[in-house]
Amino acid sequence: MKLSLVVPCYNEEQNVALFYRAATNVFDAEGYDYELVFVNDGSADNTLGELKKLHAESEHNIRIISFSRNFGKEAAMYAGIEHAKGELVCLIDADLQQRPEVVAYMVKRLDEVPELDCVAAYQHERRESGTLSFFKKSFYNLINSVSDTKFVQGASDFRTFRRSVAESVLSMGEYHRFSKGILSWVGFNTEYIPYDVQDRVAGESKWSFKKLFKYAIDGIIAFSTAPLAIPLVLGIALCAFSVIYLLATLFWCAVSYYTTFTIGLLLVFLVMLIGGLQLLGIGIVGKYIAKIYEQSKNRPIYIAKEIIEPKNEE
């Protein structure tokens, strides 16, 4: 099978049939073998009923994975990739904000350029409020400054990749998933193409500002242990400052006729020094916790794209 479309669906009863029609129109015309992998993420509406109807009526390859409750889009994408059979896997939303025509173009690029492993779409123009846009931009700047993994501004989960990439994504078994980071972490050659986000066909976005904020924090924590190093930096700074304070006070007492070195001035120094040493201690513990945290995710130590064996072993 050439292509699997992985479609996470949460309360999309009005959209799944429309999505199905739009997708089949495009891919039937392309003429290749494909399947639609719908993941019903514990919808409270009749999404599952609509999907079963499509499954019963349609000649197309439709696979449905229905969750026991709402596990979130990340879990839905993971399940979809796990069950996808295609040589190429595409992550796409059910609300037609991302057009299947763009997927056909992604597939074309992957066919044309064998060295490419992934074609990802990024939002050409953000169609959202200035405030939200500002927060999203700030998030990308922040995460890029604290993480070794690179995050492309505006890049979404909307992308098509080869089986090798899909297998690598599945090999990252971490529970708190942040796909934008995972897809960047696994490496491979990725081409970014601009796309215009469409309006939602029906229903409304499941992402409130609060949910987005929590997701952003999850992303930073999943791909950076920099926050754990904050006490270490503050501790070093405070210890250094306390010593500067002591030297400056002693100097001032020596040169000034009116100031004497009192117990009060000494206490200020001691409070700063002890505070600094405590922060330093917490920071050192933080460094070890960071290592344990990284290890506990059990990420692969490396991902090989290709292994070429010696000629005489072939």
Q: Which residues bind ligand UDP (CB under 6 A)?
A: 8-10, 12, 41, 70, 72-73, 76, 93-95, 97, 205-207
Q: Cα separation of 221 and 228, whole Å?
A: 9
Of 4 and 97, the one with the shorter C-beta distance to Mg ion is 97
From the list 97, 149, 156, 242, which residue makes contact with Mg ion (rule: CB under 5 A)?
97
Residue 97 C-beta: closest distance to Mg ion, Å: 4
DSSP readout, 123-178? ESS--S-HHHHHHHHHHHHHHHHH-SS---TTEEEEEEEEHHHHHHHHT---SS--
Give the type of residue at 81: I
Q: Which of 41, 50, 74, 95 binds Mg ion (CB under 5 A)?
A: 95
State whether the Cα torsion 54-55-58-60 is positive or negative. positive
What distance in Å separates the CA atoms of residue 153 and residue 184, rounded to the nearest whole number? 12
- C-beta closer to Mg ion: residue 159 or 162: 159
How many beta carbons lie within 10 A of that of residue 118, not counting itself?
Answer: 25
Q: Least separation, in Å, of the C-beta of 118 and Mg ion?
A: 21
Residue closer to Mg ion (CB basis): 40 or 168: 40
72 binds, among ligand UDP, Mg ion, none (CB under 5 to 8 A by kind): ligand UDP
Helix axes 130-146, 209-223, angle to 10 degrees: 10
Least Å from the CB of residue 18 to ligand UDP: 12
**Closest separation in Å from C-beta 222 to ligand UDP:** 17
Contact 80, 37 (CB under 8 A): yes
Given ligand UDP, Mg ion, none, residue 219, with its beta carbon under 5 to 8 Å by kind, binds none
Contact present, 120 and 173 (Cβ < 8 Å): no
- Rounded to whole angstroms, the Cα distance separating 238 from 82 reads 50
> Minimum distance between the CB of residue 60 and Mg ion, rounded to whole angstroms?
23
- Locate 178 and state its tokens: 């942040």
Q: Which is nearer to ligand UDP, 198 or 298 (CB)?
A: 198
Residue 99 contact among ligand UDP, Mg ion, none, beta carbon within 5 to 8 Å by kind: none
Closer to ligand UDP at the Cβ: 202 or 237? 202
Least Å distance between CB 204 and Mg ion?
A: 9
Question: In the complex, which residues of this chain contact Mg ion (CB under 5 A)?
Answer: 93, 95, 97
